Structure 1
Amino acid sequence: MSNPSSSWIAQFNPGDRVEISPRDPGFRGSWYAGTVVRREAKNTNRYVVEYDQLYEDESGEKLLQETLDWIQLRPPPPPPEKKVQFKFEDEVEAFYSDGWWEGAIITEHSGGKFAVFLRGFEEQIVFEEKDLRLPVQWVKGKWEPRFEQVQREKEVS
């Protein structure tokens, strides 16, 4: 694969904190925290990354390292500018099984808890507000809200 000529393609350096989107079918729609170990010399669009909380084996002694395409990496998203008021039908990412997973709020519970349907698991799980975030997209080198978020903000205005 040749180097794309677009200047906006993410360039990561060893030690950079990233979120990783694995391509394995059981991990679609998820993002995991990790660190860039190095960039491949022969294919500069590929990086060796190490996950923060995924391990190579059941013993949990050696963190998993993978070589991935640049498109599977992004910087960690910035914290929200203001407190998010989650509500029914919001598209969210929920922290579950060591990563952030795509889902939608299907029920609001008392005490700041929400039932979320996680697409990757095809099940409903109750989360505390602290384990939810609004999804954002890393597009051409900058963070952008997803379409649903833009629509929601227009409705509130």
Structure 2
Amino acid sequence: MSTSNPSSSWIAQFKPGERVEVSSNDPGFRGSWFAGTVIRREENNPNRYVVEYDQLYEDESGEKLLQETLDWIQLRPPPPPPEKKKVQFKFGDEVEAFHSNGWWEGAIIAEHSGGKFAVFLRGSKEQIVFEEKDLRYDNFREF
């Protein structure tokens, strides 16, 4: 059995300019992922990165994109683009739903007509109806 520190055996190596998705530990945002770009890796702590968000801003004016310094564990690569074939979502599927400029983890709890689905968002404990175009499979669930 290995006695090495698990956190040092696998640490993501993101490069400046690389696209990522960012999770938040802030109350009300758990279970959500927001798109951004790595600006740089911290020199004095290689496990931390400065990331600029695509659609989150520093203030209400929306003039300057928000930048944050985050631990590597809060970052993941974006999922691959969706396949060309039509996805068939169904009751019980683990999905991420695009809501408030981010992807929120949840599960389909009802199917509606017109390609709409009710999704229970775990982090906010909300049930919201989404169009099929605003859903994607939660490809990272097994991690």
TM-aligned CA deviation for residue 10 of structure 1: 1.2
The corresponding residue for 1:92 is: 95
* Structure 2: gaps spanning 5 or more residues: none
- Pairing 1:1-157 to 2, within 5 Å after superposition: 4-6=7-9, 8-81=10-83, 82-137=85-140, 146=142
Whether the 8 Å CA contact 2:53–2:66 is kept in 1: the answer is yes
Q: Which amino acid aligns with 1:84?
A: V
- Give me the identity figure in percent: 82
Query: Over residues 94-116 of structure 1, what are the superposed CA-to-partner deviations in whole Å (9 max), with x where a residue is unaligned?
Result: 00000000111111111111111
Q: Secondary structure at the match of 1:36?
A: strand
CA distance in 2, matches of 1:15, 1:73: 14
Structure number with the higher helix fraction is 1
TM-aligned CA deviation for residue 146 of structure 1: 3.2
CA distance in 1, matches of 2:53, 2:61: 15
Q: Which amino acid aligns with 2:31?
A: G
Q: Secondary structure at the match of 2:28?
A: helix
CA distance in 1, matches of 2:15, 2:86: 32
Q: Which amino acid aligns with 2:52?
A: E
Whether the 8 Å CA contact 2:29–2:124 is kept in 1: the answer is no
CA distance in 2, matches of 1:66, 1:146: 27
CA distance in 2, matches of 1:24, 1:17: 22
Q: Secondary structure at the match of 2:12?
A: coil
* Structure 1: gaps spanning 5 or more residues: 138-144, 148-157
- Write out the 4+ residue segments of structure 1 that deviate beyond 3 Å after TM superposition: 80-83
Q: Which amino acid aligns with 1:15?
A: G
TM-aligned CA deviation for residue 121 of structure 1: 2.3
Query: Over residues 9-50 of structure 1, what are the superposed CA-to-partner deviations in whole Å (9 max), with x where a residue is unaligned?
Result: 211111100000111122100110000011000001100000
Query: Over residues 105-153 of structure 1, what are the superposed CA-to-partner deviations in whole Å (9 max), with x where a residue is unaligned?
Result: 111111111111112222211111111011122xxxxxxx639xxxxxx
Q: What TM-score results when the alignment is normalised by the length of structure 1?
A: 0.81
TM-aligned CA deviation for residue 79 of structure 1: 2.6
CA distance in 2, matches of 1:55, 1:96: 16
